[in-house]
Amino acid sequence: MVMRAAVLREFDVPLLVEEIDRPIPERGQVLVRIVASGVNPLDTKIQAGKAAHARVQPPAVLGLDLAGVVAAAGADVTDFAPGDEVYGLCGGVGDLQGSLAEYAAVDARLLARKPKTLSMREAAALPLAAITSWEGLVDRAGVRAGQKVLVHGGAGGVGYVSVQLAQARGAEAYATGGPASISLIESLGAVAIDYTSTSVEEYVQRYTDGAGFDIIADNVGGSTLDVSFAAVRTYHGHVVSALGWGTHSLAPLSFRGATYSGVFTLLPMLTGRGREHQGDILREIATLADAGALRPRLDPRTFTLDTVLDAHRLVASGTANGKVVVDIAG
């Protein structure tokens, strides 16, 4: 049997929508009929050949996030059955087929049941952002009630989820953004900081009496990570970043006696290690979503496999008004 998929034949060449063989679930896998696929900036970088860390070799089906319905279960799968609605961060890197296809054979450990209160489109918008946020704030920094958490890039895909996750864990959330992002950040109940008009020293003094933030989640990288090292609380502060790929001086962090953790969300998919935990995180996120504590923000425009190039262009342009989602099936 065959299926339609958006295939990367060469880097920096538009994806081609074509028919390829429908996968058959192996031991420990489920076959998912994909209803919606989230599009991330990483997807566009992979397509352009600018994401060597994703280890993709053409031909490949891209797409990291999915939401859909279990169509069949392979041997040894006990947690899912045909008809179950699921979501996950399941492919599009390494040798794992991505979500820009009608079906995918997915390691069952990477999946969780879809939040009941979210649509398929909303669920497909969450996995990468939610897992990245959880690994940083919960797994690495142990966010808890009473702490002050600063999220850099609070209106971005990961930052928007990070703010809500910090609040759901009882922390006070602060988030940086440009002038156009302030109202969106404030709509989440966080304290918005316009980094274009407020210096680091000013907002550290204003909101922490100069002591620094307990946790800083950097979703921007570059000089913003350096700023984080200088704004974290002395002794007990913790900086986490999913974009700590540059060369940085650790002196400001060391002189404050604080700590740093990097987050590389793709590791379970690339190495096979830690996949159960990824599924566990998604179950926790589903509980928060169903309790009304966490929701994604979607760009209102709709796309299909036939218009996937337009979806990629929108994400690459940086002008999307929320997470871009491609509708795969009705």
Beta bridge partners, 152, equal 218
Question: What pLDDT sits at residue 330?
Answer: 62
What's the CA dihedral at 11, 13, 18, 23 to 10 degrees?
Answer: 10
Read off the pLDDT of residues 124-157 as tens digits, 9 standing for 90 and up: 999 999 999 999 999 999 999 999 999 999 999 9
Domain boundaries, the chain: 2-126+266-327, 132-262
Of 82, 83, 84, 104, which Cα lies nearest the Cα of 3?
104
Question: What pLDDT sits at residue 92?
Answer: 98
328, 36 in Cβ contact below 8 A?
yes
3, 102 in Cβ contact below 8 A?
yes
Question: What pLDDT sits at residue 129?
Answer: 98
pTM value surpassing 0.85: yes
Q: What's the CA gap between 205 and 199, in Å, rounded? A: 10
Question: What pLDDT sits at residue 164?
Answer: 98
Question: What pLDDT sits at residue 59?
Answer: 97
Beta strands in the chain (DSSP E): 2-8, 16-21, 29-39, 60-61, 65-73, 85-89, 103-107, 111-113, 148-152, 172-177, 191-194, 215-218, 238-241, 259-262, 303-304, 324-327
CATH architecture type of domain 2-126+266-327: Alpha-Beta Complex (3.90)
Read off the pLDDT of residues 248-273 as tens digits, 9 standing for 90 and up: 999 999 999 999 999 999 999 999 99
Mean pLDDT for all residues in the chain: 97
Beta strands in 28-147 (DSSP E): 29-39, 60-61, 65-73, 85-89, 103-107, 111-113
Over 70: is that where the pLDDT of 73 sits? yes
Has domain 132-262 been given CATH number 3.90.226.10? no
Read off the pLDDT of residues 275-297 as tens digits, 9 standing for 90 and up: 999 999 999 999 999 999 999 99
ω into 25 cis (within 30 of 0): no
Tell me, yes or no, if the two domains 2-126+266-327 and 132-262 fold the same way: no
65, 265 in Cβ contact below 8 A?
no
CA angle 141, 165, 228 (to 5 degrees): 45
The residue written with tokens 């690994």 in the block is: 135
59's torsion region: left (phi>0), alpha (psi -120 to 50) or beta?
beta
Burial 171-207, CB ≥16 within 10 A → b, else e:
bbbbbbbeeebbebbeebebbbbebeeeeeeebbeeb
